Each structure stands twice: as C-alpha cells, then as structure tokens.
Amino acid sequence: MTAEAQRRRAFWHILLFAAGLVVLTVISAGSVYLVNKARDDSKWVLHTIEVENQVNTLLLEVRRAESSARGFLLTQGPDFQADHERAIAAIIPALDKLTRQIGDSPAQRDSVEKLSAAIEVRLGQFAREMDFVKQGQLDNAKALVREAAAGNTTTTISNLANAMIREEERLFRLRSANADRSQTLAASLTGIGSGLVVVLALISIWLLRRSARMRDEAETRLRDAYANLEALVDERTADLREANNEIQRFAYIVSHDLRSPLVNIMGFTSELEELGGDIFRRVSSLTHVPADGPPLPSGEIALEGPDKQLSEDFSEALGFIKSSIAKMDRLISAILNLTREGRREFQPEKIDIREFVEAIVSTLAHQAVEAQAEIHVEPLPDIVSDRLALEQIFSNLIDNAIKYLKNGVPGEIRIRGRTKLGYAIFEISDNGRGIDARDHQRIFDLFRRAGTQDKPGQGIGLAHVRALVRRLGGTMSVSSELNAGSTFTITLPVAWNATTRKTDR
Amino acid sequence: MTQPVTIIMIEDDEGHARLIERNIRRSGVNNEIISFANGTDAMKHLFGADGSGLPQKGNALLILLDLNLPDMSGIDILKQIKENRYLKASPVVVLTTTDDSQEIKRCYELGCNVYITKPVNYENFANAIRQLGLFFSVIQVPPAAP
C-alpha cells in the first residue's frame, strides 16, 4: 500500500471522528436547549391553567357572597352573614392574586382592571345590602338587590370572567401547541442525531474492516515474501556452499597434483647436484694431478680459473632452483593446509577463554621476551567454539603482534574481550609498527604481506585466521595506522553451533 | 632362516620411482627391486592370476606403495594385501604426496607399517631410507602358513 493511500485513509478516519464529535455536540446542545424550551412552554401551559382556575375561584367567591347575602336577606341567619363575610374576605386576595398572575398579558390586564372595577361596585352593593339587612330595612335591601340585578353587575362580572377564561383558553391552546412543537423538535433532533451517529459508526466500522482486511492482505503478502526470501536465501546458500566446496576440492587437487612433479624436480635437482659434484671433482682430479705428493682427499674440489667459475655458476643456479622449489613447496603446503582446514569438521565445546589465551601466551613467552614485549590478558568472556581453530586464531594474532613490533620500542600487547548481543568481541592490540590503511584489505589475502619485509613469513597467517573466524560464524577486522599500533577485532558467536554452518559434503 | 627381501615398488610416476630406487641404492640397500607403474600389474604379480596370493607364499617381500595410482586406489591394494593370508605379514611402506591425517590414520588402521610423505627434500628422504635399511635387515620371513 502506498504512503499516499495511507495518508488518505488516516485523513478519512480523522474526518469521521470529527464529524461524529460535531454531531454529538450539536445534538447535546440542541437537546439541552429544546428540553429547556419545552419546560418553559409547559410552565406557561400550567400558568394558563392556574389563571383560569383563579378566575373561576374569584367568580365562585363572588357568587358565594351573592348567594349568602340573599340567604341572609331572607333569613337574617347569622350563618349566612358569616358565610358572606368569609366570601367577601376571600374576594380581594383572590383578585390580587389574579392581578399578579396575569401580569404577562396586556389584554388580560385590561380585563382584570374592568373586572376589579365591577367587583368593587358589587362589593359596595353587598356592603350596603348587608347594612340594610342588619338595620332591619329589608325593603331597602330588596330594592338594592333588584337594582343590582337590574344593573347587571353580577352578569358583567361573570361575562368579564368568562372573557378572561376564553382568553386564557386561547393562550392555553397556543402554549400547548408551542410545548408540543418543542417536544417534537427535541425528539426529531435526538432521532436525527442518533441516526447520524449510527451512520457514522457504520462508516467507521466499514473503514475499520476494510483496513483490517488490507492489513491481513499485507500480512499475507509479507509472509509470502518472507517464505520466498527464505527459500531464495537457502538456494543461494546452497549454491555458495557448492561453489565453496568446488573451490576447496579444486585447490586440494591442484595443490596435491602440483606437488607430484615438484617431488621430481627437487629429487632430480638433488641428483644433478650430486652429479655436478661428481663432475667437478673429476675435472679437478684431471686438471690437478699432483706430480708428486698424495692425491687430493676425495670430496674436496680444488678448481682454478674458468673451472672454478663454472662450478660456482653451477652451484648458484642449483641454489636458486632449490630455494624456489622450497618456496613453492611451502606455498603448496599452505594451500593444502588451508583446504584441509576448510574440510575439517569443527567440534564446538565450552572454552575458558582467559585460561586458554594465557596458555597460548605462555607458549609464546620466549618470543615475547626476545622482543621485549609485555602481554596483558584482561578478563575475557567464555564461549562455545572449536578449540583447535581458536588456538590457531589467537596464536597467529598474538604471534603477529610480537613479530611486528617497532624496533627499539618495548612492546605492549593487550588482549581484551566483551560480549554484545550474543557475540563475544575480542581485541588484540599492540603498539607496533602498524599497517597503512591501504593495506588493511590486502593483509587478509593469501600470500600477501604489507610493510617492511624484514620478518620471515608466507603471508598465510591472516588469510587463514580470517577463514577460520568466518567458518566459526564470526567476523574479523583491523584498525590501524602506520607507526601507531594495530588492533585486530574478532567477533565470534558466544554459543557457536556446528549445525548452523554445516559443511555438506 | 633369512632370505633376501624383495622390494616391490608400486609407483606410477617414473621419476618418483627412479628417485626412490636411487636413494635406496645410495643408502646401501642392494635388495632386488621390482617396479610396477600401475596397480593392475602389481596385483597380478602379488596375487597371481587367480588372485589367491599363492605365488608369493614363503617369499620375503617389502612393499613400497603409492596411494595415487592411475587405475586403482593404493588404499584398496593395501587392504587386499593385509587381508591375504600369504601377504599380510609383509611390511608395507606407504609413500604418498599427501600428509592428510585422515589418510594416514586410515592407512595405519588397515595395517600399513610405515607411512612416508614423499619428500621434496631428498636429503631427509635418504635418511629415512637408511633407517629403513636397518629395518630391512631385520625382516623375518613369515612362518609358512599351513
């Protein structure tokens, strides 16, 4: 999957999340607002009912006052009088309450003013009526009642009250409708919001599933690639191993078969040397027959002039041939040994490296003393590896360190070790003559050497050491500067397992 | 009873054969040397036409054997010699160009008496042959098998 597609998907995820958040916020705010509004509307509806109620209460009290006044007029009973007084007493507070309640509506305020005026008139009539009855002027009282009936005061009151109730009923309908609308709105808002959230959730789930599927596919592809890679690596490893074995066999056969003619060359050169000796002895005996005295002791050749020159040339030629043969023999032996090392099966075993290195150092003690070198062995980690191979590695490196010290400078050779991530790292450092940076690769090549060639050697040691280190599953490197000492670093697995690099032959 | 030892040399390289012979002679060993340049001829001589080894019964032999022969492996010859009732008592000197420890071990396991790596330095070889000369002089003829 491309990075572009990944970015786009992440963008969509964020967008979805943001949209969800916005929807939720809007729904919450809207719901809170609408619920508040609905509560408000309900309050108003309730208020309307209360006002209606109050109007009815007022009307009831007026009627009660009227009927009790009439009762009193008819019977002059104190019960009616008390009842009337209670009703009268209730009217004014009821009216006040109503006035307070309808403060919100100007139309109702007008009605209330008219109503209270009418009630005041009626209350005045009541007072006069009651006074007449109390004073026994019943006729006057009756006349007043008739007058009141003619003046239609009560009807006016009840008309006004009914008008108010009708107004309140209108308000009630209006406010109920409002409350209904608010509630419907709240419900639809919640419904729509929930729907949106569900839709967003579904989209999210879809996106998630899609990305999970893509991840699974990618994983499968990765696994396949891994399997392929492993097969490829196995194949290549087998090829390389085959090639390596081929080279080993080739080197072995070549060096082995080269040795055969060399045996003849060396053997017959020796024969020639013997022959040459015989010939020149004969020449000498022929040219130097002493007239008197004893013959020359056999084996001694006394030649003069050109004969001596010939004999010397002959010896010199043979000398060159023999030294070249000896060199060639050493080189062939070296190749043979290297190929043999390449074919030897390693035996991994646990080795106390410090003890092991100290044993090697003690065998090199004589050379170290001769070279005025001190060898310090620091604590070294133990590893599992092949003893013989390690011996060759360490003795070669320490031997080199002793061999290539600076003339006249006391040598100091240090062997250090540490472990890191399953590997043991050993460092063999010296204060010797060092190696020029351009020779760092060369010194590991077979038969190649660097620096002043004042020490005996074939140029085999380091090539051999590196081959061994590699076979032991490790690596090897050098860091050095000319005249500033060298440090050879070997990295070997702490627990080497022969099966990890089995040579299949 | 002593009997002159016959040296059987099985060596395909003529030069090597010549050098070995010369060095043997030079070190003062004058026994008869019979050379074979391949395994087949040598086997025919040692084991006879029927392969029983009867022709060599009672003969004192010393066998110089090269391991790298064109027609067969010296190891096989060594094995057959050491398995043959008439020949198994004859000393065998293996001469070869390799000094492979596995090969040396195998030869000694099969019963070879001396293993000599063909030297490039013939002075050392001459010494070795001289010592072998001493060895030759004490060779006892194996008791005749019934």
For residue B146, the model assigns a pLDDT of 44
The region of weakest confidence among A114-123, A419-428, B39-48, B125-134 is B125-134
DSSP letter for each residue of A320-378? HHHHHHHHHHHHHHHHHHHHHHHHSPP-EEEE-HHHHHHHHHHHTHHHHHHTTEEEEE-
The region of weakest confidence among A293-297, A363-367, A424-428, A472-476 is A293-297
Count CB-CB contacts under 10 A for residue A254: 14
User: pLDDT of A162-189, one tens digit each?
Assistant: 888 888 888 888 888 888 888 888 888 8
Given a cut of 80, whether residue A264 has pLDDT beyond it is yes
A339-368 residues touching B, CB cutoff 8 A? 340
Interface contact flag, A263 B123, Cβ < 8 Å? no
Full residue range of the structural domain in which residue B90 is found? 6-137
- How sure is the predictor about B1, in pLDDT bands with cuts at 50, 70 and 90? very low
- How sure is the predictor about A2, in pLDDT bands with cuts at 50, 70 and 90? low
Identify the architecture of domain A3-211 in CATH: Up-down Bundle (1.20)
The answer to the question of residue B1 being in a domain is no
The answer to the question of residue B61 being in a domain is yes
For residue A504, the model assigns a pLDDT of 39
Given a cut of 90, whether residue B85 has pLDDT beyond it is no
The answer to the question of residue B21 being in a domain is yes
Tell the residue number behind the tokens 């090969």, with chain if given: B103
Given a cut of 50, whether residue B142 has pLDDT beyond it is no
Structural domains in chain B (count) = 1
The answer to the question of residue B74 being in a domain is yes
- How sure is the predictor about A425, in pLDDT bands with cuts at 50, 70 and 90? very high
Residue positions counted in chain A: 505
Facing A267 at nearest CB: one of B15, B98, B100: B15
The answer to the question of residue B58 being in a domain is yes
Given a cut of 70, whether residue A299 has pLDDT beyond it is no
For residue A503, the model assigns a pLDDT of 43
The answer to the question of residue B142 being in a domain is no
Q: Is A260 an interface residue toward B (CB < 8 Å)?
A: yes
Given a cut of 60, whether residue B32 has pLDDT beyond it is yes
Interface contact flag, A340 B13, Cβ < 8 Å? no
Q: Helices marked H in A76-152 — which ranges?
A: 78-101, 106-134, 138-151
CA–CA distance, A14 with B107 (Å, rounded to integer): 81
For residue A305, the model assigns a pLDDT of 79
Q: What is the CATH number of the domain that holds B104?
A: 3.40.50.2300
The conformation of residue B98, written as its DSSP 8-state character, comes to -
Given a cut of 60, whether residue A485 has pLDDT beyond it is yes
For residue A24, the model assigns a pLDDT of 83
Give the ipTM.
Answer: 0.74
The answer to the question of residue B146 being in a domain is no
Average pLDDT over residues A342-355: 84
User: pLDDT of A44-74, one tens digit each?
Assistant: 888 888 888 888 888 888 888 888 888 888 8
The answer to the question of residue B87 being in a domain is yes
Residue at A317: amino acid letter = A
Residue ranges of the domains in chain A? 3-211, 243-339, 345-501
CA–CA distance, A418 with A380 (Å, rounded to integer): 7
Q: Is A74 an interface residue toward B (CB < 8 Å)?
A: no
Tokens representing A362?
Answer: 């003690």
Average pLDDT over residues A469-476: 89
Task: Tell which residue, B38, B33, B1, B4, has the closest CA to residue B20.
Answer: B33
Residue A250 vs residue A344, higher pLDDT: A250
Interface contact flag, B16 A264, Cβ < 8 Å? yes
Q: Which CATH superfamily is domain A345-501 in?
A: Histidine kinase-like ATPase, C-terminal domain (3.30.565.10)
Name the percent of chain B lying above pLDDT 70.
79
Handedness of CA A58, A63, A68, A73 (dihedral sign): positive
